[in-house]
Amino acid sequence: MIQAYVEELQQVRLASEHTVNNYQRDLQRFVEFSAQANACNVNSLPISLVTRESIQDWLVSMHTQGLAPATLARRLSSVKSLFAFGLRHKHCNENPASGIRAPKLGKRLPKTIPQNQTAQLLENTNRQFDTRELGLMALLYGCGLRVSEVVGLNMRDLSIHHRSKEAEVRVLGKGNKERIVPLPEVAVCLMQDWLVDRGNFLPKDEAVFVNRFGKRLSVRTVQRMLKDRAMETGADASITPHRLRHSFATDMLSGGANLRTIQQFLGHASLATTEHYTHVTLPQLQQTYSDAHPRSTQAKVKKHEQ
C-alpha cells in the first residue's frame, strides 16, 4: 500500500522529490515501530494490526524522544494521508488515524537577516567565482527564489534584455508549477556579468549556474558558498538560502508590496503561507499606524505640537 501511495505522490500529485522522500521515511519509521510492537516481519505488516491506539503509541514514543511538534504533525499527516489513499483504493476499510489531533504548533516566524547584511553579501569581493556568486545572490534575495529553483534553471528559462522591465525568469516550483518572475535592475546587471563569465567554464549542459567543470551546481554547493561568503563579508554566518528568500518577502512587504504580489513572486499555493510575513513586519506597521492614523494618540500629539 505504501509503494502504491508513493507512486501516486510522484506520478499523479507531482509532489517534489523532497516531499516524497520525507513521507516515505516517515511511513517506514511507522512500519518499523508497528512491526516491532507486534513482533512481526517489517516487510509484511498486516494492515489490520494498525489501530488508532498503535498510532497514538507511536506519537507518544516520538514525543518522549524530544521530537519537535512540527515533526510529529508531519509524521501523523503522512499516516493519515496513507490510509486516506488506502480507503479510496479499497486497500483498507477505515482510516485509523482519522480524528487523531496533531500536537499544537507554536507560532514560528520566518527568520530573516538585516538589510545591511544583505547589502554586504552583494558587495564585490576577490573570491574566485565572485560573478557567479553575485548572480546567485541576485536570484535568491533579489527575486526570492528557492535554492532548488535557482540551481534547476536552464538558459532557456532566462529572458534578459537591455531594459530591465523586459527581463524575467521562468521558474519551475513545487509540484512542477511554473511561474514567471520579473528581474529587478540590479539582478539584471549581476546576471549579465555572470553570463559573460559563464562561457569560460565550458558548460556541459543548459544549466544557468555551473561549477568549474561546467556541470550544474548542487544545492549543497550553494549553501556552502553562501556561508563562506557571509564569513568573508562580515554577514551572519548562520545564513541560509531560505533565509534570503524570507528576507526578500519581508523587505518587499515593508516596502509596500501587497500580499498577493508577494505570493506570486514566491510561488506559494496558499495566501495563508505568505501571511506569515505580516507578523515579521508588524512593528513597522504599528509604527506607521501611530504616525499617520487620525485616531492614534501619537498622531494627535504631533498635530498638537505643529
| Active-site residue identified among 80, 132, 146, 216 | 146
| Active-site residue identified among 174, 179, 227, 276 | 174
Say how far apart CA 241 and CA 60 lie, in whole Å.
34
Q: State phi, psi for 74 to the nearest 5 degrees.
A: -65, -40
Active site annotation includes 146: yes
| Active-site residue identified among 80, 198, 243, 245 | 245
Active site annotation includes 23: no
Say how far apart CA 216 and CA 203 lie, in whole Å.
8
Active site annotation includes 220: no
| Active-site residue identified among 63, 170, 242, 276 | 242
Active site annotation includes 242: yes
Calculate Rg over the CA atoms of the chain: 24
Active site annotation includes 300: no
Active site annotation includes 268: yes
Q: State phi, psi for 25 to the nearest 5 degrees.
A: -65, -45
The residues that bridge with 172 in the sheet, in sequence order, are 178
Which of these, 162, 194, 198, 166, lies nearest to 180 by C-alpha position? 166
Say how far apart CA 266 and CA 246 lie, in whole Å.
9
Say how far apart CA 282 and CA 284 lie, in whole Å.
5
**The three cell numbers locating residue 27:** 511511513
Yes or no: say if 137 and 272 are a contact pair by the CB < 8 Å rule: no
HEC profile of 129-162: CHHHHHHHHHHHCCCCCCHHHHHCCEHHHEECCC
| Active-site residue identified among 5, 23, 141, 277 | 277
Burial of residue 43, with CB atoms counted within 10 A of its CB: 0-12 exposed, 13-18 middle, 19 or more buried: exposed
Residue 160 CA, chain-centre distance (Å), reads 25
Yes or no: say if 164 and 185 are a contact pair by the CB < 8 Å rule: yes
- Contact partners, residue 157, CB within 8 Å, separation at least 6: 169, 170, 171, 172, 208
Active site residues: 146, 174, 242, 245, 268, 277
